[in-house]
């Protein structure tokens, strides 16, 4: 977990996880209530791409080239 967490302690990782869960639940709720103009399937695809980019950036580490850290290069 240390390589993904980027030096965060266990409590901070838990807080970050809760942040993502709360944000994603709220966004999906807005979508289902019609407050976001995007179909649920597209929203799930968007969230999947964002989270994968974040994980790739975390795995690349803080010293990775800017493009690689943000998932824009293979």
pLDDT in tens, 9-52: 788 888 888 998 899 899 989 988 999 998 888 988 998 998 88
Residue 74 in any domain: the answer is: no
- Does residue 26 form part of some domain? yes
How many structural domains are present in the chain? 1
Can you give the residue range of the structural domain that contains 53?
2-69
Which is more confident, 3 or 55?
55
pTM over 0.75: no
Sign for the CA dihedral angle at 22, 1, 61, 14 comes to positive
Residue 7 covered by a domain: yes
Label residue 53 by pLDDT band (50, 70, 90): confident
pLDDT at 1 over 90: no
Report the pLDDT value the prediction gives residue 7, as an integer from 0 to 100: 72
Question: 27: exposed, middle or buried (C-beta count within 10 Å: 0-12, 13-18, 19+)?
Answer: middle
């Amino acid at each position: 977990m240390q390589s993904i967490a980027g030096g965060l302690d266990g409590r901070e990782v838990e807080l970050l996880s809760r942040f993502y869960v709360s944000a994603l639940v709220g966004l999906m709720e807005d979508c289902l209530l019609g407050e976001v103009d995007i179909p649920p399937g597209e929203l799930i695809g968007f969230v999947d791409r964002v989270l994968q980019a974040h994980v790739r950036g975390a795995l690349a580490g803080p010293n990775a080239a800017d493009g690689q850290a943000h998932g824009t290069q293979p």
